Amino acid sequence: MSAAAAMIEHMIDTVGWLRDASQELARLAALPRRESIQDNVQLVADCQALLNRLQAVQAVAMATVSGIEDVIDPATGEVVEQFRGFDHARMDAPALVSDALGVSDQGANTRMHHATALAGTYPTVLAAMATGRVDSYRAGIIVTELDQAPDQVREAVVAQVLPRLGEEPGHRLRQRVRRVLGKVGEQFLRQKAARARADRSLRRWAGEEPGVDTWTASLPVEEAGRAWAAINTLAREYVTTGECSTVEQARADAMLALIQGNARAE
């Protein structure tokens, strides 16, 4: 076993983590009823820390599913399961857990990617989850922002981000990772930005309420800035004239007006 593998095995003690989480749940359940606002705010924090620990256990379980491959035992000819490490990607691993997670195939792919990356590449971030410091969402930000980064760059960024991990909301963590990345891996950051611009997209699906659609777009920042300024200018007119009661409504109407005014479609 390599030194890195031994470190990961030592840090990823799922049985111990699950035992700690169970003891914490029992402690919370035994507390007297909480009446004050501060008591309940603390309960929220305690529950979140417990959820973070459980998410760490779940991530290791998912990474283990991905690391197991079905092979034929040459001695018996039987099909047996063989763990090949957290860096192994079993092709049907996302499908095996998608029903349990209650997510789509795409969602399962993303969750599985984050789990295997945390277990195999970011054990210190995973360990922070296991202590209750950080949730899977913010851990996933690190995985996404450093995806495909060279090993030295990734390790340098994690070393600088880790001490304060869990102290800031997701958008600020993302900004901080990018700032550090700009200092220790400027070339990689430029390459990542170029790929993101090349992969620009606009997607549409059914909205959460009937009668509306939801759009999401990923656009080059300077063009998005100009488009946003144009939308805002027209939206302010709609609000001023009373055509819309909120700026959010006005922006939606302004965007559609600008598109329809510059395109012919049936």
pLDDT tens for residues 105-137?
999 999 999 999 999 999 999 999 999 999 999
φ, ψ for residue 82 (rounded to 5)? Answer: -130, 125
E strand intervals along the chain:
68-72, 79-83, 201-206, 213-218
Mean predicted confidence (pLDDT) in 192-221: 94
Residues in Cβ contact with 209 at an 8 Å cutoff, skipping those fewer than 6 apart: none
Q: pTM for the full model?
A: 0.81
Q: Which of 239, 263, 241, 240 is nearest to 252 (CA)?
A: 239
pLDDT range class, residue 43, cuts 50, 70, 90: confident
